[in-house]
Amino acid sequence: MSSGSLLCYQLFRLEIMRDFSKDHSDLALNTATLGHLFEGCGAGWLPEEVIDACATRGFGAIAWWRREIGKRAFEIGERTRSAGLEVSGLCRSPFLVGPLAPSRRQNVIDDFKLSIEMASDLGARCLTVCAGGVIEGSHSITESLKEVTSIVAEMAQFSQSSGVRLAVEPLNPVYGGNRSCLVTVRDAVDMCEIIKNPLVTIAVDVYHVWWDLSLAYELERAGADRISGYHLCDWLAETTDVLLDRGMMGDGVADLKSIRESVENAGYSGYCEVEVFSANNWWKRDPNEVLDTCVERFRTVC
Ligand code: ZN
């Protein structure tokens, strides 16, 4: 390609990306960003306070965590919608395999079903699915992924009646041992290909994919219908904790615009959900400040 046509190509690519500089209606809040009612974390806002604060600021959607919903799925779903917001997702399935998963497959299935039913009652666009780490004693990512694939396939069948989409989320390889034997978008797309159920989709999270130079290619391979979520945060160069020290967008080293370009070029046009786990920084601040910062960073650096 000549330098002239390369420039045209790049301009064209930038032009087709959504412009968030003056419109943040595609911004969603994952309540993890406020501590998601995790014991002792965040300001402990009730769902109603979170809904009102997001509605006031013009967010488009909220993704909830199960611990916040309890038995109030219908009610919180309705409350979210009546404030003009959508429920972009529910976090999450149990870990399916590995050291953090329930002890037997049947227990995993039972809890997985409960999470699908809650997502359905809530009217959530998708349920986030966490693969879980390597099966103890197996020393095998391959065997672990096979079992994950088998469980997800079974649960996609179960989900058929409610239509809840399962958003399988590949996690950063630092979690390979305990939280997710699924560590690349490549393997997530392969899983979708094996299961071949349109309810099995992929969630793309900056924290987990920012390092992956094959991202654009793999997302093209996935296709628009298989991408059900895009999660925003940043990777801090000097992170102190890979679980609870995520950066706010713009504070780290991830190329946020180029990652979004890859997601949108693959056809995704849904919500961009801020998901910042930050025990010692953002969870200690006033939630009003956190939400204002989300909006400002979304408009300027995402
Ligand atoms: Zn995520």
Neighbours of ion ligand 1 (CB under 5 A): 205, 231, 275
Residue 5: inside a domain:
no
From ligand 1's centre to the CA of 160, what distance in Å?
A: 24
Residue 8: inside a domain:
no
Beta strand segments in 25-184, E: 27-30, 61-65, 86-91, 126-129, 165-168
Q: What is the CATH number of the domain that holds 162?
A: 3.20.20.150
Residue 64: inside a domain:
yes
From ligand 1's centre to the CA of 19, what distance in Å?
A: 22
Residue 242: inside a domain:
yes
From ligand 1's centre to the CA of 204, what distance in Å?
A: 7
Residue 205: inside a domain:
yes
Residue 154: inside a domain:
yes
Residue 250 neighbours by CB under 8 Å, 6+ apart: 234, 256, 297, 300, 301
Q: How many domains does the chain have?
A: 1
Per-residue pLDDT of the chain (302 residues; tens, 9 = 90+): 455 555 555 555 555 799 999 999 999 999 999 998 788 889 899 999 999 999 999 999 999 999 999 999 999 999 999 999 999 999 999 999 999 999 999 999 999 999 999 999 999 999 999 999 999 999 999 999 999 999 999 999 999 999 999 999 999 999 999 999 999 999 999 999 999 999 999 999 999 999 999 999 999 999 999 999 999 999 999 999 999 999 999 999 999 999 999 999 999 999 999 999 999 999 999 999 999 999 999 999 99
3 state DSSP class of 75: helix
Whether pTM exceeds 0.85: yes
Asked if residues 162 and 116 have their Cβ atoms less than 8 Å apart, the reply is yes
Give the integer Cα–Cα distance in Å for 38 and 41.
Answer: 5
From ligand 1's centre to the CA of 254, what distance in Å?
A: 15
Residue 18: inside a domain:
no
Residue 135: inside a domain:
yes
Q: Which domain holds residue 31?
A: 23-301
Give the integer Cα–Cα distance in Å for 149 and 191.
Answer: 6
From ligand 1's centre to the CA of 79, what distance in Å?
A: 24
From ligand 1's centre to the CA of 280, what distance in Å?
A: 19
From ligand 1's centre to the CA of 1, what distance in Å?
A: 37
